[in-house]
Structure 1
């Protein structure tokens, strides 16, 4: 077991040591077996890098490195550095929402400081041959914070008012709400259009790819 990093400098050193390695090399160093693809285990790459870097939060409602206040997010990109998909942030609460504020939300806490780890992950590349890029720390600037808060508040208002089934991926400028479940039978409680209790698919918050592309552009000038 790899112990958690004691400070940001140690975390960044560990992340820099991973840059240029393939996922297969990292898996071998950790004595893990990679699957052929990620169809059944989409979060496997993130979990493996958490292990390699000494993340300790598990599935708790706190950043991956709680002692540092830093969340780890892997970002699959193509050969030109363009994100290949949206980025999962956290599961969305669908009940008891009326008093929740943005500043207290899990989304806000998760995104206060993020260690982004780009991974060259074009779908033609076998999983073991995908390459880890240069990690970097990011904090949302005031404009990004405003956009995230605005989207979160609009989405939460729709949920509270019973519009959960009307929300589509197109909602939100930078943040979206999408179904997140292993199968259609994994239902959770929510509020219906007339205020009645209903069962629906669990939802998760995701950062849109255009938002993470902007983050990469600012960091690397790509």
Structure 2
């Protein structure tokens, strides 16, 4: 594993060094095997990037680069630079959420400073041949921040009022809440419609792809027809 970067300049320099490499080339340089596909190894690309860039948080409740306060997010894109899917942010708390403030939330903290790492990852490209793009740092501007906060507050209010079963992926302008579990047996506690304790699938917060596309356009001044 690479040493943890001591500055944002060092981190961006490493991003520059790996930009243009395939996932297979980067994995080989770290003496790692590439899985055949991501069905059983969903988090493999993110873990590969963490190793290559020296992210040290592991599974702790910290940003991926704790000493820099920066979160790492890989972003699979197509050849036009459009994100291929929504971006997972973090697990959503489903109990004891009344009175929680946006600025204290894990979503707010995770998205306060992000290293985005685009990866050309169209389905037909074998995993080992997918190409790493140019990583860049991003902080939400006031408009983006306000949209995230509004969505988060509305979703958290629904959770606290027992409306978890009614939340759909369409809720939220830029942030959505979706089931996040390896299988339907992995249930967690939540609040039901009558305020009673219930068991439900864990939920995760995800950034909608049009939001991450806007971030890419802002960074690279991309235009799409």
The TM-score with structure 1 as length reference comes to 0.99
Q: Distance in 1 between matches of 2:60 and 2:90?
A: 11
Cα deviation 1:60-104 (Å, max 9, x = unaligned): 222100100100000000000000000000011111101210000
Q: What is aligned with 1:116?
A: 116
Q: What is aligned with 2:151?
A: 151
Q: What is aligned with 1:161?
A: 161
Q: Distance in 1 between matches of 2:93 and 2:41?
A: 23
| Counterpart secondary structure, 1:72 | strand
Q: What is aligned with 1:187?
A: 187
| Counterpart secondary structure, 1:89 | strand
Paired residues of 1:62 and 1:109 also in contact (CA < 8 A): no
**Structure 2 spans left out of the alignment, 5+ residues:** none
Q: What is aligned with 2:71?
A: 71
**2:74 equivalent to 1:94:** no
Which range is displaced more, 38-47 or 147-156? 38-47
Paired residues of 1:76 and 1:121 also in contact (CA < 8 A): yes
Q: What is aligned with 2:106?
A: 106
The TM-score with structure 2 as length reference comes to 0.97
**2:29 equivalent to 1:60:** no
Paired residues of 1:27 and 1:34 also in contact (CA < 8 A): yes
Q: What is aligned with 2:49?
A: 49
Q: What is aligned with 1:215?
A: 215
What is the Cα deviation at residue 46 of structure 1?
A: 0.7
The number of residue pairs the alignment matches comes to: 222
Q: What is aligned with 2:197?
A: 197
Q: What is aligned with 2:176?
A: 176
